[in-house]
Structure 1
Amino acid sequence: MGRDDMLSLVLPLLLAAVALAVWLWGQLRRPPGFPPGPTWLPVIGNYLEIRRLSKKLSSQHEAFAHLAEQYGSPVIGLHVGGDLTVIVSTRSLKREVLTRPEFEGRPQNFFTYLRTLKLRKGVAMVDGKLWQEQRAFVMKHLRSLGFGGPAMQDQVGEEVRAMLAELSDSRGRPMQLKQLLPRSVLNVIFHFCAGYRFPRDDQQLQTLIDLQDVRSRAFDMTGGKLSAMPWLRFIQPEATGYNAITKFNDMASAFCMKLIEDHKAAYFPGKKTDLIDAYLYEIAKAKESQDDNTTFTEDQILMVLYDMLDAGLEETSSALQFVFLMMLRHPDVQERVHNEIKEAVGTDRPPTLEDKDRLVYTTAALMESQRMCYVLPIRGLRRVLEDTTLHGYRLPVNTTVLINNWSLHMDKEHWGDPEVYRPERFISETGLLREDDAFVPFGLGRHRCMGEHFAKSCLFHFFAGILQKFQLVPADGTDLKSTALGGFNLAPKPFDIIFKSR
């Protein structure tokens, strides 16, 4: 073999080796000034390390807190879910991330791609002009329909009355609120969005609840295994959660599309009886003016309804389940809440938000339950829109930023005894409700939760309404010390309650 032949064989191999070395260097390289944290591996980043720590410490939020302590920094730098990722864990940094405009982006990993039905539309997981225009539109029209005002309070009250009747019919039989709460919450949301109410014992809704639960357990706030290694969906579609999210997406989108089609069939120009009608009006207006750049499309309606369905199935419902679990764990608090309601409101009418100022201990018990059992211990889901700095560290554009709320809620320096359930911490010396800037369950800034008023209303009405009428007793064999189910968000393990009429 001649010299030229040898070169023709060796040169491509040498170039391939150099290209591989450059690629590996790029994969392993920590950007200059990036926050401290463990070394990551090519392709999978810190996925295995975070998974190992999460298993050892029982949760991902505790794993992140451990890393913050290990590296002595309130900002930890990782590579997870296919992206550079930082975790922040102090009040001041949380406020910065939630209010500074350069942190207003949303991550664009594989999980969010699937979560948005591969459309990247809606209001929950998008940013930029689309998010600004659509969020403003949704908020404006929901308010015009009464969402957030007296009309919404009436709808919540109606659902509370229906729930109380159902609990009364149980006649002391053990029941699971997990089967009841999502329907009640969604009935209010979809009344304003689609003029729709879920029938009692709706099997389709129950299937959605079950699929949502499987999906939530398969993922975490970094996107889980699927975002770290999207190609695994071809090898492990079940273990990665790919099957769970696609099944949920198919069923949820079919349900939402049926609502849209029904509205299209009954629509006439100018009709705006609910949010879907308002969108159809905007679509017709854009078509008439031949506006090809409009963000008002059927895909957008679909994703907005999906966002509403997703939020109603999980966050508020899971928060309420945790609240009632805490009442089972602390019967003395439960009794004190009942007595306060009985003295301030009586038993002839249900409590309303107008009674809230007189139900200080009741509200404090709600807040303390949310602090200790936060549904989203890791939240934020922000993406850096331009190169910036945080706490003196450099964050490149497109870095994902997450907030470890669990660290804030369990900070011993701030709370003193965070592991103790003590509603009094939210009551001032003068007996008034005391706000705390370390407890911000609905976020801050322009991305603040759109459903904050609705969620607060549901939490208060259902909590006060049920404790006014019933004593909650754990069914035989119920494990009240059971830990939460982990995943994208937290939910209590299923538990049975016996509702005894007072």
Structure 2
Amino acid sequence: MWHFAVFLLLIYYLINRRNSKYLLYPPGPYSLPIIGNLLSVWMGLKNHKYHHKLWQSWSKIYGNILGLRLGLINVVVVSGRDMIKEVSSREVFEGRPDGFMYTMRSFGKKLGIVFGDGRPWSNTRRVALKYLRSFGYGTRSMEVIIAEECSELVKLRASDSGQPVLVNQMFNISVINILWRVVAGRRYDLNDDRVKHLCGLVMRLFRLVDMSGGIISFMPFLRHLVPKLIGFTEMKAIHASLQTFVKETIEEHKASIDIENPRDVIDAFLIEMLSNKENAFTEEELYVVSLDMLEAGMETVANTAVFMLLYLVRDENIQRKVQKEIDDVIGIRQPSLSDRSRMVYTEAVLLETLRLSSVAAMGIPHMALEDAHLGEYLIPKGTFLLMAIHDLHNGDLWEEADTFKPERFLNEGKLVQDERLIPFGLGRRRCIGEGLAKSELFMFLTHILQKFNLRIPHGDSLPSLEPVDGLTLSANPFSVIFEQRSS
């Protein structure tokens, strides 16, 4: 039976190669029948280690529109700010991938804010933003929440000051609490074992595949043959744990809801579902929106904050410059977001952290909703489009691109906003959490360096700048000693 299936796939491949669409497809490495470029990817990763570096090496050969065939999926990698801007701004490329890896978390459907698309996505995004804002998102009350979580984090680090701390999961619960207090009306202790375990699961999930979707999206039938080998078994187990956590939260809200007095975003969605039954959101949609806010917000911001510590602990001189600015502008009072406009060096440190880390190395994939021309090529409907953000931020256009150099964002004492820096994307699919993420990073940085000097533990080597590959990039494990500053 499987021989017949392979035969049919081979016939489909040969017919497809003769199709005019295929002839206009962007150039790339030679594609084999059925598996496409998967063998080339496997071999290329042995040399380049990271997916984004492999795509970058091929783009230098084939151009800034790189055409790949990964298993059953067309994947196009676009490089350079102009091309990334064009893809981000055209409605035909606003889709999200329908590969198995992306939809297995959302009941096999395109739901939610991150991986939804079309009119349902627009509506979900609009309503979610409305409810977030009504419960303080983007307001002064949000700053109060961030400040409270920063204070709790500082207290935790004061309790173990002078001792080496493995920092790779240090910000996870703090970041969850900041948004979860608005979404679910709940905060967790920074030592809560269940939430620590949950955060560990999310981090593990983000390490299992890269942003192109991995073998589970390119050849989804393999989950029936070798589920453990391709990571399906582990993904399924992680999603089950996350589903239990989020569904328990929603059920708790349903059991105690007061229709006249919504407490948070989940309450507001549930009331909307009760009062507008004809066009109501489903519980599946509410679950996926909640999961989006739990996963995406934690992973990207927490990873970036960890990279920020990595860069600072490697360079004591930069630490001292930030601390001097904190002492001059803030003194001993609690840092505030209103301080940002007067702390240009600190802001430059944050911009340089976003540039060098580029945790969303390829952005979040787009998908062509119809056949569309891009440059001189034809992008077939259903093609996944990856954007080479890491290459844009770390390429030849930057002087000493591999060096952490905040001064590149300063000019005669003023902050420079470089248009090549787009860590949160462009266009309608630009990350809705950009403002919150920047606020969190500023507050984490100022609260920590106001109270502590960061040191590498005695005997430890300098932490590596090399990241860990995955859906997002993360730092390799490293420890820091938080040494209390003398007042």
What is the TM-score normalised by the length of structure 1? 0.92
Name the counterpart of 1:227. Answer: 217
Match of 2:478 among 495, 499, 502: 495
Name the counterpart of 1:37. Answer: 28
Relative distance call for 1:144 and 1:20 in structure 2 (3 A) is closer
Match of 1:304 among 289, 302, 307: 289
Alpha-carbon displacement from aligned partner over 1:13-44 (angstroms, at most 9, x marks no partner): xx999967632303555713111101212332
Name the counterpart of 1:65. Answer: 56
Whole-angstrom CA distance in 1 between matches of 2:34 and 2:184: 43
CA shift for structure 1 position 213: 2.4
Q: Tell me, yes or no, if the aligned pair for 2:174 and 2:190 is still in contact at 8 Å.
A: no
- Aligned AA (1:23): Y
Q: Tell me, yes or no, if the aligned pair for 2:67 and 2:74 is still in contact at 8 Å.
A: yes
Name the counterpart of 2:239. Answer: 249
Whole-angstrom CA distance in 2 between matches of 1:425 and 1:454: 24
Whole-angstrom CA distance in 2 between matches of 1:118 and 1:254: 17
Name the counterpart of 2:393. Answer: 409
- Aligned AA (1:281): I
Relative distance call for 1:212 and 1:20 in structure 2 (3 A) is closer
What is the 5 A alignment of 1:65-84?
Answer: 65-71=56-62, 73-80=63-70, 82-84=72-74
Name the counterpart of 2:365. Answer: 381
Alpha-carbon displacement from aligned partner over 1:31-81 (angstroms, at most 9, x marks no partner): 13111101212332212212221231121111111101112x111000126
Name the counterpart of 2:165. Answer: 175
CA shift for structure 1 position 317: 0.3
Is 1:484 equivalent to 2:467 in the alignment? Answer: yes
Whole-angstrom CA distance in 2 between matches of 1:225 and 1:16: 18
Is 1:211 equivalent to 2:201 in the alignment? Answer: yes
Name the counterpart of 1:326. Answer: 311
Relative distance call for 1:143 and 1:16 in structure 2 (3 A) is closer
What is the TM-score normalised by the length of structure 2? 0.94
What is the 5 A alignment of 1:264-275?
Answer: 264-275=254-265
Relative distance call for 1:81 and 1:358 in structure 2 (3 A) is farther
Alpha-carbon displacement from aligned partner over 1:404-434 (angstroms, at most 9, x marks no partner): 111111222x212212221111012x31110
In the comparison of the two structures, how many residue pairs are matched? Answer: 479
Indicate the SS of the match to 1:283: helix
Deviates further, 220-229 or 125-134: 220-229
Whole-angstrom CA distance in 2 between matches of 1:69 and 1:280: 50
Relative distance call for 1:239 and 1:334 in structure 2 (3 A) is farther
Q: Tell me, yes or no, if the aligned pair for 1:190 and 1:196 is still in contact at 8 Å.
A: yes
Alpha-carbon displacement from aligned partner over 1:137-195 (angstroms, at most 9, x marks no partner): 00011111111111111000000000111111103111123333110000011100010
Q: Tell me, yes or no, if the aligned pair for 1:81 and 1:109 is still in contact at 8 Å.
A: no
RMSD: 1.9
Name the counterpart of 1:396. Answer: 380
Q: Tell me, yes or no, if the aligned pair for 1:106 and 1:125 is still in contact at 8 Å.
A: yes
Deviates further, 37-46 or 442-451: 37-46
Name the counterpart of 2:47. Answer: 56
Indicate the SS of the match to 2:14: helix
Whole-angstrom CA distance in 1 between matches of 2:241 and 2:262: 27
Following TM superposition, the consecutive aligned residue runs of length 4 or more in structure 1 with deviations greater than 3 angstroms are 15-22, 26-30
Deviates further, 486-495 or 112-121: 112-121
What stretches of structure 2 of length at least 5 have no aligned partner? none
What is the 5 A alignment of 1:103-142?
Answer: 103-142=93-132
Whole-angstrom CA distance in 2 between matches of 1:17 and 1:105: 30
Name the counterpart of 2:329. Answer: 344
Match of 2:443 among 445, 449, 461: 461
Whole-angstrom CA distance in 2 between matches of 1:235 and 1:158: 49
Whole-angstrom CA distance in 2 between matches of 1:467 and 1:80: 46
Is 1:315 equivalent to 2:300 in the alignment? Answer: yes
Name the counterpart of 2:348. Answer: 364
Q: Larger Cα Rg: Structure 1 or Structure 2? A: 1
CA shift for structure 1 position 478: 4.2
Indicate the SS of the match to 1:415: coil
Deviates further, 210-219 or 247-256: 210-219
Q: Tell me, yes or no, if the aligned pair for 1:271 and 1:278 is still in contact at 8 Å.
A: no
Q: Tell me, yes or no, if the aligned pair for 2:457 and 2:480 is still in contact at 8 Å.
A: yes
Deviates further, 236-245 or 348-357: 236-245
Relative distance call for 1:299 and 1:354 in structure 2 (3 A) is same
Q: Tell me, yes or no, if the aligned pair for 1:361 and 1:423 is still in contact at 8 Å.
A: yes
Whole-angstrom CA distance in 2 between matches of 1:463 and 1:195: 25
Relative distance call for 1:423 and 1:271 in structure 2 (3 A) is same
Counting aligned pairs with the same residue, the percent is 34
Whole-angstrom CA distance in 2 between matches of 1:16 and 1:121: 31
Relative distance call for 1:335 and 1:37 in structure 2 (3 A) is same
What is the 5 A alignment of 1:158-197?
Answer: 158-197=148-187
Whole-angstrom CA distance in 2 between matches of 1:389 and 1:20: 27
- Aligned AA (1:424): E
CA shift for structure 1 position 211: 1.9
Name the counterpart of 1:434. Answer: 416
Whole-angstrom CA distance in 2 between matches of 1:301 and 1:337: 41
Relative distance call for 1:363 and 1:161 in structure 2 (3 A) is same
Q: Tell me, yes or no, if the aligned pair for 2:211 and 2:362 is still in contact at 8 Å.
A: yes
Is 1:91 equivalent to 2:81 in the alignment? Answer: yes
Whole-angstrom CA distance in 1 between matches of 2:435 and 2:324: 26
Alpha-carbon displacement from aligned partner over 1:214-250 (angstroms, at most 9, x marks no partner): 2222100111121122222234323312122212211
Q: Tell me, yes or no, if the aligned pair for 1:387 and 1:397 is still in contact at 8 Å.
A: yes
Name the counterpart of 1:8. Answer: none
Relative distance call for 1:417 and 1:171 in structure 2 (3 A) is closer
Whole-angstrom CA distance in 2 between matches of 1:423 and 1:184: 26
